[in-house]
A and B are shown apart, each in its own frame.
Chain A
Amino acid sequence: MSGKTKSVIPGFGLSFGISMTILSLIVVIPLCSLVVYSSQLSMADFWEIITRPRVLASYKVSLTTSFIASIINAVMGLIMAWVLVRYEFPGKRILDGMIELPFALPTAVAGISLAHLTVSSGPVGALFANFGIDIAYTYTGITVAMVFVGIPFVVRSIQPVLEKVEGEYEEAAFIMGAGRFETFRRVVFPEIRPALIAGFTMAFARCLGEYGSVVFIAGNKPYETEIAPLMIMSELQEFDYPAATSVALTMLLMAFVILFVNAVFQSRASAIVGGIR
């Protein structure tokens, strides 16, 4: 007993047990079932399913739009977090609260309303149609939906970090002759970069898997605007569980890669600020 460091939460054994149980019930077991289902297939069959041209096209759609959406989210999210942290203005509280809306709203509701707005007869869609730009049923539409879904990840990652960047940091830079832009680039940005990367990757992973809010606006034209999650759905509708889980497994792998890249960045950053232990 004496050798252990005392923890605030009582009963390490109990709390650890609860954590592991929940984790395995809601995360590990479902993931394992994916593997189990797919393993009914031979390696060759598995490969054949996940490389069907239509499936490949859907990966391309999903990856491209998710990536573009996440880039947009990173930029917009950074600006929004900056505004929310650094300035006082009427309605700040309300705007701050609205950031979470995409989390709270049922995704299908968001999808349907976005689709309605952006079809060429809809209010926003009509406006852009004048310039010959179609939003709904194109990459643009998918990206718009994904931006909507992903924005909270970026804002909420950066906000707390930005709040902690001391004013003295900027003052120090200012005294040493740095202008606003240089101070941001060399002093503030490195501080928020890990949070920005975390927000970007989480948004990216989320956009890849997003179904509800995207399918309505996507148009779902085979080879063109079919997203990868939709492929899973259509396999399921044909009761081809092994095929569905194979595609799902592939997407899971992509998500892992994305989160792994993030983890590498984060651990590198925390090695710098964490210091010697």
Chain B
Amino acid sequence: MTDIRNSGAESGFPDGTAKRQPYVELRHINKSFGEFKASDDVSFTVEKGSLVGLLGPSGSGKTTILRILAGLETADSGEIYIDGKLVNSIPASKRGIGFVFQSYALFRYMTVFDNIAFGLRTKKVPRSEIVEKVNGLIELVGLAGLNGRYPNQLSGGQRQRVAFARALATEPSLLLLDEPFAAIDAKVRKELRAWLKELIQRVGITSIFVTHDQSEAIEVADQIIITNHGHIERSGSPIEIYSNPESSFVTKFIGQPTVIENPGAFKGFSGIGNAGATAVLRPEFISVSRLSEPFRYEITAETGIVENSFFRGGDFELRVRVNDQVLTVNRPITEERILPGEKVRIFIRSLYLLDGDKAVTVLNDSLTGNDSICI
């Protein structure tokens, strides 16, 4: 079901009658394309001035939510509130929204200047004001001197900046961005993320961006809303979601998960789950050491064989076979190198035990001070 606990808890008024009224609110939005349910009872709220990441796998209905919010798509049922006003029947151009399309949709036969000026011209803003405003925006997004270029004469990153400036030109109160970094090569992407976050904060505009890349959402967003099969799976701050995924889906989606069968077979977790149970491990839950290195929780550690080793820059990612299952572990480059084929000690500090839709954290017996250590 929908989880609006985060904002609800902060305002202290779960029904939205708070003094801190949410700036954007979707209530029970449904949308089908033929037989296919693209939005399934979607409800969430967004605080004024926050930067929200709509995160989910491809096809989970993120774009659809954004388009419904913008008024490019009509919901079959449900209400959309922006700044306390019901906007269901208000056309897109009157909702005070800036939209950055995934493809940017820059007008190819218009210069950078004309692209950014488009919305101002349709609103019949006086010429001198347009020139001043557009030049200011070009300055703001760091494209000074490129006024006369056409979109195809720009790099991917520069195009994104134009799209961003164009969306801001009409001074919207809500900015919607669909996969703003998808069309940009990996090298520039990281840089642009920081840039966009900084700029959105500087402009102070409430923003919602869509992404399927969790690291993007975690780095950029103040609040993350996770979508799955058209419904909202979970919402919360990046830290909350990362450290306490709660649902089975989010646990398997966030971080670098390895799903294991029958976790009860691993030392330190005896007796949890039944034979058919599954659990999720993350590399940071596991430490690896050579058999020769001393280790404190010897009794609840496993031994395994290193099958593969991948260099990841700061550390090595090892694939270790334990109990006939392959675990992913990180080993810092500063420690002695472990080569494939070596027998190693594996200590699993904790794991997420999946129980239906829920996920529960289970600590290693050694860390809970359970009986096993005394045996």
Contacts and interface: CB of A to CB of B under 8 A. Distances in A.
Interface of A: 166, 168-169, 171-179, 182, 186-187, 190-191, 193, 269, 272-276
Interface size class, chain B: 20 to 34
B122 interface: yes
Nearest to B172: A175
Contacts of B151: 275
A190 B70 CA distance: 26
A187 B70 contact: no
Contacts of A177: 93, 119, 122-123, 170
B204 to A, nearest CB: 21
Given A272-B152, A273-B152, 9 more contacts: A168-B103, A169-B107, A171-B92, A171-B99, A176-B119, A176-B166, A177-B170, A272-B108, A273-B108
Nearest to B151: A275
Top 10 closest pairs, chain A to chain B, by CB: A275-B152, A176-B119, A190-B109, A168-B105, A177-B93, A177-B122, A172-B105, A178-B122, A175-B92, A275-B153
B150 interface: yes
Interface in B125-153: 150-153
B105 A186 contact: no
Nearest to B95: A175
Interface of B: 70-72, 92-93, 97-99, 101, 103, 105, 107-110, 118-119, 122-123, 150-154, 166, 169-170
Contacts of B107: 169, 172-173, 186-187, 190
A176 B152 contact: no
Contacts of B103: 166, 168
A274 B122 contact: no
22 contacts: A168-B103, A169-B107, A171-B92, A171-B105, A172-B99, A172-B105, A173-B107, A175-B70, A175-B92, A175-B99, A176-B118, A177-B119, A177-B122, A177-B123, A186-B107, A190-B110, A269-B109, A272-B108, A273-B109, A275-B150, A275-B151, A276-B152
A174 B72 CA distance: 9
Contacts of B152: 272-276
Report whether over half of chain A's contact residues are helix, strand or loop; otherwise say mixed: helix
Contacts of B109: 190-191, 193, 269, 272-273
A174 B93 contact: yes
Nearest to B178: A168
A30 B166 CA distance: 55
Contacts of B71: 175
A171 B72 contact: yes
A3 B110 CA distance: 38
Contacts of A274: 152
Nearest to A176: B119
A72 B92 CA distance: 36
B93 A175 contact: yes
Contact of B93 (A168, A176, A190, A193): A176
A171 B67 CA distance: 10
B77 to A, nearest CB: 23
Given A176-B93, A272-B150, A275-B150, A182 B122 contact: yes
Most chain B CB inside 10 Å of its own CB: which residue of A171, A182, A191, A273: A171
A273 B150 contact: yes
Contacts of B150: 272-273, 275
A174 B105 contact: no
B115 to A, nearest CB: 9
Given A169-B107, A274-B152, A276-B153, A176 B101 contact: no
A168 B118 CA distance: 15
A272 to B, nearest CB: 5
A172 B99 CA distance: 7
Most chain B CB inside 10 Å of its own CB: which residue of A173, A174, A176: A176
Nearest to A272: B150
A196 to B, nearest CB: 13
B153 A168 contact: no
Contacts of A168: 101, 103, 105
Contacts of B170: 176-177
Contacts of B169: 176
B108 A191 contact: yes
Contacts of A273: 108-109, 150, 152
Nearest to A271: B150
A125 to B, nearest CB: 44
A175 B71 CA distance: 9
A178 B107 CA distance: 13
Contacts of B166: 176
Most chain A CB inside 10 Å of its own CB: which residue of B72, B109, B123, B170: B109
B108 A175 contact: no
A39 B37 CA distance: 75
Contacts of A174: 72, 92-93
Contacts of B93: 174-178
A190 B92 CA distance: 24
A275 B149 CA distance: 9
A269 B101 CA distance: 24
Contacts of B72: 171, 174-175
Contact of A169 (B70, B98, B105): B105
Given A168-B101, A168-B103, A275-B153, A176 B108 contact: no
Contacts of B101: 168, 171-172
A169 B169 CA distance: 17
Nearest to B98: A175
Contacts of B98: 175
A228 B166 CA distance: 53
A274 B154 CA distance: 11
B176 to A, nearest CB: 9
